Amino acid sequence: MSANVNTSLPLEYQTEQSRMNILGFWIFLGAEIVLFATLFSVYGVLYKNYAGGPTHQDIFMMKEVMIQTVLLLTSSFTMGVAIWEMRRNNKKGLIGWFILTLLLGAGFLFMEINEFIHYIHEGATMQTSAFLSSLFVLLGTHGAHVTFGIFWATMVIIQIAKRGLTPVTARKTFIIGLYWHFLDVVWIFIFTFVYLKGMVL
C-alpha cells in the first residue's frame, strides 16, 4: 500500500497513502462544513429568542472581538508561511512559524475564554435563553476545535523535531494546515453573522 511513490510531487503528496489521507481529510472537512452549517442554522432560528435575558448589544464587546479576529486571521497567515517553509524543506523555519501560529491561536483562545467569563458575569449563561444557548454552543464548538488543533499540532511539532521532514510528518503538517485555515473560515462567518449582524440589528 505504501507503493506508488512519486517523488516529483511535494513531499506530503508523494506516497499513495498520503494522497488518500489528504483526500480523506478534505471529505472530513466537508462533514465539518455540514456540522457548522447546522449550528449556524440553529443559531439563525433562535438568535432573537432572548426570553427576557440579555440581547446582543447588552453583552458583545466589539473591541475584544476585533482583536480575536486579528489574532486568528494572522495565525492563518503564519500557518501558510509555515507550509511554505516546509515546501522549501526548511525544518527550522517550519517549526518556528508553526509555533508562532499556535501562540496566536492560544491568544485567541485566551481572549475567547475571557469573553465567556465576562458574559457569565453579566448574567448571560448558556441556560438563560435560547439565544444564549445557541451562541455559546456555536462559539464553544469553534473554540473547542481551536483547542483540539493546538494540542494536535503540538504533537506533530514534536514529531517533526524528532524525525525531521519525512513524507509522513509533511503530510501531517499539511493536514493540520488545512484544518487551521478551515477554522479561520468558520470564524469569518461567526464574525459576520454573529457579531456584526448582532451589533447592527
List of residues 6+ apart from 134 with CB closer than 8 A: 39, 42, 43, 45, 46, 47
Show the binding pattern over residues 43-62: x = contacts another protein (CB under 8 A), - = does not. Answer: --xx--xxx-x---------
List of residues 6+ apart from 106 with CB closer than 8 A: 150
State the minimum distance, in angstroms, from the CB of residue 25 to another protein: 9
The answer to whether residue 122 forms part of the interface with another protein (CB under 8 A) is no
The answer to whether residue 5 forms part of the interface with another protein (CB under 8 A) is no
Show the binding pattern over residues 69-98: x = contacts another protein (CB under 8 A), - = does not. Answer: ------------------------------
Closest by Cα among 157, 159, 152, 155 to 183: 152
Closest by Cα among 55, 56, 64 to 193: 56
Show the binding pattern over residues 128-167: x = contacts another protein (CB under 8 A), - = does not. Answer: xxxx-xx-xx--------------x--xx--x--------
Q: Which of 42, 67, 106, 196 binds another protein (CB under 8 A)?
A: 42
State the minimum distance, in angstroms, from the CB of residue 44 to another protein: 11
d(CA 151, CA 176): 11
Closest by Cα among 87, 98, 90, 185 to 150: 98
d(CA 136, CA 42): 12
Which residues of this chain interact with another protein, rule CB under 8 A? 1-3, 16, 19-21, 23-24, 27-28, 30-32, 34-35, 38-39, 42, 45-46, 49-51, 53, 126-131, 133-134, 136-137, 152, 155-156, 159, 168
